[in-house]
Amino acid sequence: MSEASQQEAATEEDVYVLTDEFVRDVRDALDAEDEAAVSALIEPLHAADLADLVELVNRSERKALVDLIAPRLDPEMLSHLDEAVRDQVVDQLEPEQIAAAVTELDTDDAVYLVEDLDPETQRAVLDAVPEEDRTHLEESLEYEEDTAGRLMQRELISVPEFWTIGQTIDFMRESDDLPDEFYEIFVVDPVHRPVGTVALNRAMRTKRPVVVSEIMNADVKTVPVEMEQDDVAHLFRQYDLLSAPVVDGSGRVIGVIMVDDVVDVIDEEAEEDILRLGGVTDDDLNAGIVRTTRSRFTWLAVNLVTAIVASMVIGLFEGTIDQMVALAVLMPIVASMGGNAGTQTMTIAVRSLATHELTAANAWRLFNKETAVGLANGGLFALLVGVAAFVWFRDPMLSGVIAAAMVINMLAAGVAGIAVPLALERMNIDPAVASSVFVTTITDVIGFFAFLGLAALVLL
Amino acid sequence: MSEASQQEAATEEDVYVLTDEFVRDVRDALDAEDEAAVSALIEPLHAADLADLVELVNRSERKALVDLIAPRLDPEMLSHLDEAVRDQVVDQLEPEQIAAAVTELDTDDAVYLVEDLDPETQRAVLDAVPEEDRTHLEESLEYEEDTAGRLMQRELISVPEFWTIGQTIDFMRESDDLPDEFYEIFVVDPVHRPVGTVALNRAMRTKRPVVVSEIMNADVKTVPVEMEQDDVAHLFRQYDLLSAPVVDGSGRVIGVIMVDDVVDVIDEEAEEDILRLGGVTDDDLNAGIVRTTRSRFTWLAVNLVTAIVASMVIGLFEGTIDQMVALAVLMPIVASMGGNAGTQTMTIAVRSLATHELTAANAWRLFNKETAVGLANGGLFALLVGVAAFVWFRDPMLSGVIAAAMVINMLAAGVAGIAVPLALERMNIDPAVASSVFVTTITDVIGFFAFLGLAALVLL
């Protein structure tokens, strides 16, 4: 092994501590019910890695593993679990254990633990946490899921504008009620509305007598508590924020959102787009067979309807196919190429809509571009497929028909690929969920209709 | 309008300052060559929003806009442009203007500006920047694209372990050679290897006489300079990092990666997966017609080959179809349902491989699960499609054949949907790029073969 690749191997192992070998060792120890060996193996793991391990093992191993770690549970681990596994693990814990974890976590992570509990357990957990935490939790639970209210933590640091840096530092040194982590000091007016932020590095570089309002950044990006989480993510990404104050209806600071929570949101939103485009509505990796079958069924049922529609179009030309069976052989090519070209355009359109790169301002320009690209690739593939069909069936008229159908369908694919997502967006339907059904139905129907219809006209 | 929706509208506008109306005003002013109006409109924009505006307008408007802002260009704007637009804008600037921007930016952003310049312009730009910046830039350009070396900035703050908090604060107050932004202080040993980090909020809360080594977090996640950017992203995400020291081969700190750069990487990686699954290799939203047509052609050509293979399978059964033309009408249903089911499984598999949630440890379990889900949905849709075919053609044998073919193909879809991405990953081929061709070829071939083959056996 060269030195470079040794270094690379070391690197991979540094990043992904759950190597296949490590997981195998843990599973062997779990299966052998060797608690000491399991404990020794998982002892050095970071909470996030332990959470990944809990997800990787199978259901019975998971149960044993959670039983083992429950007595001295790191609450952080729970907040790193994905939803399907979190539900299983939390079911296995006593309400008092959940309450202890909830009390220790920041509000946003605590809410994640209790939000999907059945009402009875949720009540039991809430009753077992100290009153102040309970009030915060209950308030947070009233905000809609996937909004700033759920993402924020209550723990934050704010100072009045007339304080000096010295006062601020002394306050931070003396107070023991500070959040675990904070990246900025919020400067607030007398009614607690944010008027500026001071980056910690700025504060540290500044001499003690300076007043905070002199060095604060007055261009505060505040987040209304009901803001959707993807808009929050956009704010952080666009303006490179580390944290942002969350304000209520009257503009008062009631919480703070941190960049690491937003990183998770960005991941989640991108993941959602990928999964929805693939016809999966839910991250079902760790879900059971029944739940997975059911969640995928809906999408397949919609596709069955569209497939039957395409078949009906073919049915219109039964007589034509009966006279020339080569049409049945070639017809899927036209539909399939249109489907793929449409998917390309649609993918770009859906993604650009999600990132707000495609707006009314450039929609028309991109529509024209996709039409042109559809025509260009349509022409190229008409030529290729025309030649291929001639080599195969030695019928110049048939070649001409498939070539013409190809141009028509690729053009339709470009137009539908951009028009469908734009239209869905305008109707407030998530383009990632619904675009591909419409686009492939259009390319199937037009593909079969153009090819078989032209054949009926020209060949028979 | 209700109060809630008014508030929502206000919120959207706060987040996305480039409203359709605003962009229209800018374009009208540009088209009217009213420079004063354009300047007044864009004056209050943040660099990132100005970059979005430059992307949104069309090519001739872009040229006019850049001409207008070039004399007092905010270098940050350039680092927010996507690659296709950056190339156009940078082409329009003089080497001295680029050099001025490069000098002002942090190394990572400066590299982004010069990395794709033609060699001659790049030389001219490098010659025009001060020597120290030039050396840093030249070193950074030698690291591979998409590695830590390209992401890092050189500007960082590090202190020896024996310093006190007081010394550290005084150093920061007196030095004027500090980075613009930093989130942590790196503690280094005498040969400049990182031994710990001190979060700024921790430092600020600590009394002056305390020695940094007492309060530092000794569990430093260091990033080797040649680490791939998706591994860097994993480290930040997994351990909620704000910044991380980058080390060279002998473990010395040579730079720092900040969370906002990693947010961009996470976005980029997710975007790449979405686009690749959709058969688009490149973010071609802002690319021209020729470049877009060419980049999409390759993928469509691969699909043409697979479509022809599927046609050949149909060709094997020309005689069968000739005797019963209903087969031609129904056959796309089986293939299409298999394709959609395969895409669902494949999407989950590709995404989970990318996020390291699918590893050797749980591959076998998920393979079994997908097989079971394929059988379950196969059974359900066999029933549905069998009934539909009977209603349509009143032929119980034909219904039986399509039902049987459906079960076979949905099972094949589940198996192929997970086996193909796993196999590609093992062969070090990106599953996001190649999986869908293989999976849909398999479901097309098996779908047509099972349906037409069974029909030939049973019906004729």
A173 and B CB contact within 8 Å:
yes
Residue A14 clears pLDDT 80, i.e. is over it:
no
pLDDT of residue A11: 53
B 234-273 near A (Cβ less than 8 A):
234-240, 242, 249, 259-260, 262-264, 266-267, 270-271, 273
Q: What is the CATH number of domain B12-146?
A: 1.25.60.10
Chain B residues whose CB is inside 8 A of the A306 CB are 336
- Sign for the pseudo-dihedral over CA of B448, B450, B453, B456: negative
Stretch A287-301: mean pLDDT, rounded? 90
| Shortest alpha-carbon distance between residue B270 and chain A (Å) | 6
| Shortest alpha-carbon distance between residue A133 and chain B (Å) | 23
Chain B residues whose CB is inside 8 A of the A224 CB are 7, 11, 14
Which two three-digit tokens encode residue A31?
A: 């299966």
Of A297, A314, A336, the CB nearest to B307: A336
A 36-55 near B (Cβ less than 8 A):
46, 48-49, 52, 55
- Sign for the pseudo-dihedral over CA of A48, A53, A59, A62: negative
Determine whether the interchain pair B242/A285 forms a contact, defined as Cβ–Cβ distance below 8 Å: no
Which two three-digit tokens encode residue A443?
A: 């390319």
Q: What is the pLDDT of residues B214-269, one digit of tens each?
A: 999 998 999 999 999 999 999 999 998 999 999 999 999 999 999 988 998 988 88
pLDDT of residue B11: 53
Q: Give the C-alpha separation, A285 to A281, whole Å.
A: 12
Q: What is the pLDDT of residues B250-260, one digit of tens each?
A: 999 999 999 98
DSSP 8-state code for residue B206: S
Which two three-digit tokens encode residue A23?
A: 């997981």
Which two three-digit tokens encode residue B266?
A: 């996470």
User: Is there a contact between A401 and A390 (Cβ–Cβ < 8 Å)?
Assistant: no
B9: closest chain A residue by CA: A227
Give CA angle at A15 (A11, A21), nearest 5°.
90
Residue B10 clears pLDDT 50, i.e. is over it:
no
pLDDT of residue A179: 80
Stretch A377-394: mean pLDDT, rounded? 96
Determine whether the interchain pair B292/A373 forms a contact, defined as Cβ–Cβ distance below 8 Å: yes
What pLDDT band is residue B8 in, cutting at 50, 70 and 90? very low
The ipTM value here is: 0.85
Residue B161 clears pLDDT 90, i.e. is over it:
yes
What pLDDT band is residue A213 in, cutting at 50, 70 and 90? very high
Chain A residues whose CB is inside 8 A of the B311 CB are 329-330, 332-333
Q: What is the pLDDT of residues B289-300, one digit of tens each?
A: 898 999 899 999
B 100-159 near A (Cβ less than 8 A):
none
Q: Give the C-alpha separation, A344 to A126, whole Å.
A: 49
Amino acid at site B291 = R
Size of interface A-B (CB pairs under 8 A): 367
Q: What is the pLDDT of residues B32-43, one digit of tens each?
A: 999 999 999 999
- Helices H / strands E in chain A, number of each: 23, 6
Chain A residues whose CB is inside 8 A of the B200 CB are 183, 200-201, 204
Which of A116-125, A140-149, B283-292 is predicted with the least confidence, judged by mean pLDDT? B283-292
Residue A219 clears pLDDT 50, i.e. is over it:
yes
Mean pLDDT of chain B: 91
Of residues B125 and A107, more confidently modeled:
B125
Stretch B165-188: mean pLDDT, rounded? 87
Q: What is the pLDDT of residues B401-435, one digit of tens each?
A: 999 999 999 999 999 999 999 999 999 999 998 89
Start-end of H helices in A43-177: 47-56, 59-69, 75-79, 83-92, 95-104, 107-114, 119-127, 131-142, 148-151, 165-174
pLDDT of residue B5: 39
Secondary element (H or E) of residue A302: helix A289-316
Which two three-digit tokens encode residue B10?
A: 């206000």
User: Is there a contact between A392 and A442 (Cβ–Cβ < 8 Å)?
Assistant: no
Q: Which residues pair with A256 in a beta bridge?
A: A153, A245
Instruction: Count other Cβ atoms within 10 Å, centred on residue B289.
Output: 15
B50: closest chain A residue by CA: A238
Close Cβ partners of A226 (under 8 Å, ≥ 6 residues apart): A143, A144, A147, A148, A149, B7, B8, B11
Residue B176 clears pLDDT 80, i.e. is over it:
no
Chain B residues whose CB is inside 8 A of the A259 CB are 242, 259-260, 263
Determine whether the interchain pair A292/B183 forms a contact, defined as Cβ–Cβ distance below 8 Å: no
What pLDDT band is residue B194 in, cutting at 50, 70 and 90? very high
* CATH class of this structure's domain A158-277: alpha beta
pLDDT of residue B7: 42
Q: Give the C-alpha separation, A341 to A351, whole Å.
A: 16
Stretch A307-313: mean pLDDT, rounded? 95
Instruction: Count other Cβ atoms within 10 Å, centred on residue A14.
Output: 15
What pLDDT band is residue B25 in, cutting at 50, 70 and 90? very high
Determine whether the interchain pair B361/A57 forms a contact, defined as Cβ–Cβ distance below 8 Å: yes
Cα A97 to chain centroid distance, Å, stands at: 30
SS3 of A384, please?
A: helix
Determine whether the interchain pair A181/B200 forms a contact, defined as Cβ–Cβ distance below 8 Å: no
Amino acid at site A235 = L
B156: closest chain A residue by CA: A201
SS3 of B226, please?
A: coil
CATH 1.10.357.20 fits A289-458, yes or no: yes
Give CA angle at A343 (B291, B273), nearest 5°.
80
Determine whether the interchain pair B296/A207 forms a contact, defined as Cβ–Cβ distance below 8 Å: no
pLDDT of residue B3: 40
SS3 of A445, please?
A: helix
- Burial readout B297-323 (b: 16 or more C-beta within 10 A, e: otherwise): eebbeebbebbbebbebbbebeebbee
Residue A8 clears pLDDT 60, i.e. is over it:
no
B275 and A CB contact within 8 Å:
yes
Q: What is the pLDDT of residues A244-279, one digit of tens each?
A: 999 999 999 999 999 988 998 988 888 888 889 888
Determine whether the interchain pair B328/A328 forms a contact, defined as Cβ–Cβ distance below 8 Å: yes
pLDDT of residue B370: 95
CATH 1.25.60.10 fits A3-145, yes or no: yes
Q: What is the pLDDT of residues B384-404, one digit of tens each?
A: 999 999 999 999 999 999 999
Which of A14-18, B139-143, B294-298, B348-352 is predicted with the least confidence, judged by mean pLDDT? A14-18
pLDDT of residue A7: 42
Q: Where are the domains of chain B?
A: 12-146, 158-275, 289-458
To the nearest whole percent, how much of chain B has pLDDT over 90? 69
User: Is there a contact between A50 and A77 (Cβ–Cβ < 8 Å)?
Assistant: yes
Instruction: Count other Cβ atoms within 10 Å, centred on residue A394.
Output: 9
Which of A65-69, A131-135, B32-36 is predicted with the least confidence, judged by mean pLDDT? A131-135
User: Is there a contact between A213 and A161 (Cβ–Cβ < 8 Å)?
Assistant: yes
What pLDDT band is residue A10 in, cutting at 50, 70 and 90? very low
Q: Of A128, A314, A125, A183, which Cα lies nearest the Cα of B184?
A: A183
Which two three-digit tokens encode residue B289?
A: 């017609």
What pLDDT band is residue B148 in, cutting at 50, 70 and 90? very high
Q: What is the pLDDT of residues B71-127, one digit of tens each?
A: 888 999 999 998 889 999 999 999 999 999 999 888 889 999 998 888 999 999 999
pLDDT of residue A6: 39
pLDDT of residue B38: 94
Q: What is the pLDDT of residues B43-69, one digit of tens each?
A: 999 999 999 999 999 889 999 999 999
User: Is there a contact between B247 and B253 (Cβ–Cβ < 8 Å)?
Assistant: yes
pLDDT of residue A1: 36
| Shortest alpha-carbon distance between residue A3 and chain B (Å) | 11
Chain B residues whose CB is inside 8 A of the A56 CB are 357, 359, 361-362
B384 and A CB contact within 8 Å:
yes
Task: Give the CATH fold of the B158-275 domain.
Answer: CBS-domain (3.10.580)
Of A7, A369, A381, the CB nearest to B300: A381
Q: What is the pLDDT of residues A38-64, one digit of tens each?
A: 999 999 999 999 999 999 998 899 999
